[in-house]
Structure 1
Amino acid sequence: MKFLSARCTAPLVLAGTLYYYVKEQGQTDNTPSIGIIGAGISGSSCSHYIRNNLNERGIKANIVVYEKNDRVGGRNFSNRSLNDGDKFDRSIEWGGSHVIEENKYAMDLVDEFQLRLNPGIENKSWLHFFTSLATNAIEVFLPSQNSTDDTLVVWDNKNNTAAFSESTSILVNLWNTVVSSNYGHYIFPSRKTKSVVNDAVQQFVKVYEMQKEGKTFDSPQELLKALDMDALLREDYYNYMVNRHGVHANYFRTFVEPIVRVNYMQDSSQISAFSGLIGSAGLVSKFHAIREGTQSFSEHMIKASDCTLQKGAAVQQIKKLANGKYEVSFRQENDYKTESFDFLILSAPLEQNKISFKNVEWSDLAWHATAADRKYVKGHTTIVTCKDLKSEVFGYQRSSRLYNSQLPQYVHTVLTTENSSGSKDAHPFNVLGYNGTTKKFSEEGHLVFKLFSHSELLQSDLTNYFESIKDISHVYWNNPGNYPLLAPNPKELPTILDKQKRLFYSNAMESVVSTMETSLIQSKNISIMVSQSIVNDQFKKQ
């Protein structure tokens, strides 16, 4: 779940021969050509937005998208093999899975492609009622149907105990949050947190109006300066909220820290205040899951942009030619091929693709990007199909809280407060979340859970938490990783890599924040630049 729905991030090209493609389309050799490397959310949206911009001006162009894998979507993809009989009619996401209503570009895509949203999550939790804190980012992991057995635990890894546990009884929740937990530690910090996050979100969404007016930015830092938010990159999120704004440390650690860990797999003291505020935007908005899965964004945009998609095409070299074009050399099905383009967009992390460059006249900050030395979180996603979760592991059978008989029998969601462990028994995951049911393995159906962790979870680990495991699926995000380390004072990576403004790097945005929506914002930025250049070139030829 991320604003703008942790990483993930982000996160939105090659033909057989462009000559053949051009002649088949009945176009001239003067038709502008755009190459895009990567068909994730960034690359697919660049293709889509550029095509839309040029269509509005009646300009034809050849767009070719290279994707080294056999599917599009990048780090957004779904485990659709579990969809048979899924009564919630939704995909099981390996990566980013949610959008909020302030995500203008993502919500526009939902409307454009008539995608289906799961019911929004807003203002229904007990915590919101008592503390005015919209805990949507926590609730998002709960089942969408009304059930008295759906509940949440926030687990304190340091002290190996439940820092908070939700009940179906309003009286129990009132006791847990207001009486036994100290009223002032929850009521007032929640309002302060919500206010600070909301102010940041409202400041950031001004970018949409800027882009509507055709404004562009040469780097993410330049965008934040224009929004008067660049200072947020210079301190960590924990210090910004607890020390600068006076949010109570216990409250922040219990309710905000877990959200950051779900989004970025990093603690609040490890990330910038800007990343933290954007990642916490679900506190002040309404969440939706895409029933078809977030991978469907890229699938639809690639199709709508009428581009040439080349799957299994691994780009190896980019060379600046004497005529100003960029030649792309790639390997596909054991063949080595080349093609040249007027504009070239790198829409995948350079840390992931070991591409060599020749004859490029680099822009001033390009070496920050081409060094390809960003550090990434290399995490694991595990999907477990089972009979149920062992709720007693989280203390539900041993609770001594008031109105114990009203506590639910089942736990469906567990968030954790920090990476460090003060006990050998501390749970080895960042989040454990309920993801619906499947009838793939039996008519009676099985529950599906998803876990994010820093280390691989073996079956011997998982049997501690799940009953009658039927299936385990696993992905290790190691190339380059789930998300970049979003530490304060990141290097300034340029959007424009060359002096001629024909070579672009959409993944520069991930150095400051890693979400689907910010990837779309960066793609919109590049599409404006490319479209304006093409229009200017067309004008000069007249």
Structure 2
Amino acid sequence: MRLQLGSTLVAWLALGGEVVVAEAEVKTETKGVKNVAIIGAGAAGSSAAYYLRQYADEADVKVNITIFEKTDRIGGRTLTVNAYDDARHPIELGASIFVAINHILYNGTRNFNLSTAANYREAGSPDDVTAIWDGSDGSFVYETTDGTAWWWDAGKLWWRYGMSPYRAVNLVKEVVGKFLKLYEGPYFPFRSLTARAYELELLGVTALTGEQFLKLHKIDEAFSRHIIQAATRVNYASNLAYIHGLETMVSFATDGAMSVAGGNWQIFDEMVKTSGAAILRNATVSSIRFAKGKASSSSAPKYEISTSSASAEPELVDTTFDDVIIASPWQFSNIEAGEGVIKHNIEEIPYTKLHVTLFASPFKLHPGFFKLPPGSKAPSNVYTTLAKDEEPKVGADGVGKTGFYSISTLRTAVNPKTDKAEFVYKIFSPKPVTPEFLSDLLGVQVPDTFTDGKTSDVVEPISWYYPHWFYSYPVELPRVTFQDPILGRGLYYTSGIESFISTMETSALMGMNVARLIVDDAAGISRETVPGAVSEEDLLLGRVKLDIVVEEAGEL
């Protein structure tokens, strides 16, 4: 879900079983062929497999690719569920949209002939209202109506916030433009994310909170709190005081937002199919160790992998691997690493635990929930921010008096049981919603037993209900160092980019990056040096003066 800012206006978008081999057989070891294991079939793992095959074929490097996926599906945090348990009504539960500048995902839709929808929300009429609410009774800090001419919204923004919307758009373009250089030589590929961030002058953005960064660039406090903070909350469940400047800018880089009809996971599913990888579903990796007798100080190590299931002891996979890509957050993997396997410590990153509620109802949002006057029309989509007198806090404690981050009317759908049109809603919140909350929200009584887990009955006001917890994204606090993608010789890690930028696209970028590193090393390909290149060691030891504005920000 993303809140979208155009070039001159704000627009809005709602944003353990047995090991089974599927799609391909695990290939045995062959002389002269590199065996590569990828742990995780989310955005990073799928992208790594896809680009590994592409780069290897181009460089005439022979590779066998095996993907270990602990679930029965591909896509990771990209996940759809079916409203009414009907396959005709797929709903995005996880990552909802990507944007035109997301080159990997966008090109994937074209290469795989996937249909895309230009707008995340499919519901609505031309006079539907999208609002930003700070919890105040009977009023919104900003609202816009679907179908309104762009110049009217632009005029309202200029009248209220002056030049701040224009400055914010230009600031997004400048920062995102620097980041996009990571896709091209000589900045791509990279062995040190910290060094690249320094070379691209992005450490001065990640070193500050969004609040500090916007103030430094003369963005009005009211515009930052009303509009930009609504974007960081709906995208990362974070207030501006507890998210760094780069992720703040990413929250606003949403021009050309789209999604894949039927689910964004299809991009990654096609990547895996195209790679020709063997995919082991319901295969939980329990350990990574050096293969006995196959590693020495003068030769590249071989790795052996064990998998486990709910009904069996860990089992050693027959194949040994030249390279292993860990393509999921290490702290959630429960993988045991053998002695000496991990040369560089993997940092544990705090993740936000977000509650997502999907439900369908014949009732629209009720104006009384927002304390609007009788006869008023309630908005169809509501994003939230903090009131001026509320203290920003980190994590779930920072949700404020609204109690939720967003409520979106995703679409209308025909209930297959009643053949009547209903509204499908999505709520982001730090805690599960209560029957009292839903009753107030819809203006109709929802029984107290509905969400207590003791009954599966569907009540009349709500015809379909699907709650879910996600470790959705990391808490993006300011920082100037980031996890390297290389953990040891032949051992790679993709989730270090999460504390830099956390999106489907950037996970796929890190997968593409490690694929390029593996093939370059195998084929002996050398790359052009980045102008002014520095080593991460020099950065960490303070041998390079970081051109950042921490001291200046401290005075703001």
Normalising by structure 1, report the TM-score. 0.80
Could you tell me whether the CA contact under 8 Å between 1:76 and 1:96 is conserved in 2? yes
1:170 to 1:373, Cα distance in 2 relative to 1, 3 A: closer
The answer to whether the 8 Å contact 1:3/1:100 transfers is no
1:351 to 331, 334, 351: 331
| Equivalent position SS for 2:131 | strand
> Contact 2:47–2:509 (CA<8 Å) still a contact in 1?
no
Gap change, CA 1:507 and 1:170, over 3 Å in 2: closer
SS at match of 1:153: strand
- The answer to whether structure 1 residue 191 and structure 2 residue 182 are counterparts is no
* Corresponding position of 2:508: 520
**Alignment partners' CA distance in 2, 1:411 and 1:72:** 35
Q: Structure 1 residues 422, 189: CA separation in 2 closer, same or farther (over 3 Å shift)? A: closer
8 Å CA contact 2:122–2:412 kept in 1: the answer is: no
- Show the 5 A alignment for 1:272-283: 272-282=244-254
Corresponding letter in the other structure for 2:332:
Q
Q: Which amino acid aligns with 1:153?
A: A
Superposition pairs of residues 113-132 of structure 1, within 5 angstroms: 113-119=112-118
Aligned to 1:341: 321
Alignment of 1:372-383 (within 5 A): 372-383=347-358
What are the within-5 Å matches in structure 2 for residues 495-514 of structure 1?
A: 495-498=485-488, 500=489, 502-514=490-502
Distance 1:353 1:421, change over 3 A: farther
Equivalent residue in structure 2 for 1:269, among 234, 241, 244? 241
Q: 1:476 Cα shift? A: 0.9
The partner residue of 1:484 within 452, 462, 474 is: 474
What residue in structure 2 maps to residue 471 of structure 1? 464
* 1:299 correspondence with 2:272: no
Describe the SS at the equivalent of 1:448: strand
The alpha-carbon distance between structure 1 residues 419 and 358, as it changes in their structure 2 partners (threshold 3 A), is farther
1:252 shift after superposition = 1.3
Hey, what does 1:126 align to over in structure 2? none
The answer to whether residue 127 in structure 2 is matched with residue 154 in structure 1 is no
Q: How many residues align?
A: 474
Give RMSD over aligned pairs: 3.2
Q: Helix, strand or coil: the match of 2:233?
A: helix
Q: Which has the higher helix share?
A: 1
Describe the SS at the equivalent of 1:341. Answer: coil
Looking at structure 2, the residues matched to 278 and 84 of structure 1 have their Cα atoms a distance apart, in angstroms, of: 34
Compute the displacement of 1:536 (Å).
3.6
1:32 and 2:34 aligned: yes
Secondary structure at the aligned position of 2:65 is classed as: strand
Counterpart in 1 of 2:543?
none
Is 1:260 aligned with 2:237? no
Three-state SS of the structure 2 residue aligned to 1:474 is strand
Identity in percent: 22
| Secondary structure in 1 matching 2:515 | helix
Q: Is the 8 A contact 2:495 2:507 kept in 1?
A: yes
Q: Report the Cα distance in structure 2 between the residues aligned to 1:450 and 1:36, rounded to whole angstroms.
A: 33
Alpha-carbon distance in 2 for matches of 1:354, 1:59? 32
2:359 pairs with one of 384, 400, 419: 384
Letter in 2 for 1:59: V
Of 127, 133, 144, which residue of structure 2 is paired with 1:166?
144
C-alpha change, 1:150 and 1:531, in structure 2 (3 Å) is: same
How far apart, CA to CA, are the structure 2 residues paired with 1:21 and 1:425?
Answer: 51
CA distance in 1, matches of 2:102, 2:161: 28
Using the TM superposition, give the Cα deviation of residue 270 of structure 1 relative to its aligned residue in structure 2, in angstroms: 0.5
Check whether the contact 1:385–1:447 (CA below 8 A) recurs between aligned residues: yes
Q: What letter is aligned with 1:482?
A: S
The corresponding residue for 1:100 is 99
Amino acid corresponding to residue 212 of structure 2 in structure 1: N
- Contact 1:92 / 1:293 at 8 angstroms: preserved in 2? yes
Change (3 A) 1:101 1:3: farther
1:59 shift after superposition? 3.4
| C-alpha displacement of 1:160 | 7.8
User: Do the aligned residues in 2 keep the contact of 1:389 with 1:411 (CA within 8 Å)?
Assistant: no
Report the CA distance between 1:325 and its aligned residue. 0.6
Q: For the structure 1 residues 300 and 419, does the alpha-carbon distance in structure 2 shift closer, same or farther, using more than 3 Å as the test?
A: farther
Question: Does the aligned pair in 1 maintain the 2:130–2:379 contact within 8 Å?
Answer: yes
Cα distance in 2 between the residues matched to 1:447 and 1:336: 46
What is the match of residue 427 of structure 1? 402
Q: 2:13 corresponds to which residue?
A: none
Q: Which residue of 2 aligns with 1:74?
A: 76
Amino acid at match of 1:337: E
Any idea what SS the aligned residue of 1:218 has? coil
- Which residue identity does 2:272 align to in structure 1? I
CA contact 1:4–1:99 (8 Å) conserved in 2:
no
Counterpart among 171, 182, 185 of residue 207 in structure 1: 182
Structure 2 CA distance, aligned partners of 1:432 and 1:158?
Answer: 16
Query: Is it true that 1:412 corresponds to 2:360 in the alignment?
Result: no
Q: 1:74–1:50: structure 2 CA closer, same or farther, 3 Å change rule?
A: same
| Counterpart in the other structure of 1:316 | 286
Residues 221-242 of structure 1: per-residue CA shift (max 9 Å, x gap): 222123221221111011110x
Question: For 2:101, what is the secondary structure of its paired residue?
Answer: coil
- Give the stretch that moved more between structures: 316-325 or 390-399: 390-399
Q: Is 2:523 aligned against 1:530?
A: no
Deviation at 1:281, TM superposition (A): 0.7
Mapped partners of 1:3, 1:220: distance in 2:
27
Cα deviations by residue, 1:249-286 (Å, 9 ceiling, x for unpaired): 1111111111111111111110111111122212xx22
Instruction: Give, in whole Å, the separation in 2 of the partners of 1:484 and 1:209.
Output: 26
The structure-2 alpha-carbon separation of the partners of 1:160 and 1:257, relative to structure 1 and needing over 3 Å to count, comes to farther
Pairwise CA distance, 1:362: 4.2
Letter of the 1:325 counterpart: K
Pairwise CA distance, 1:21: 4.1
Residue 82 of structure 1 and its aligned partner are, at CA, apart by 4.6
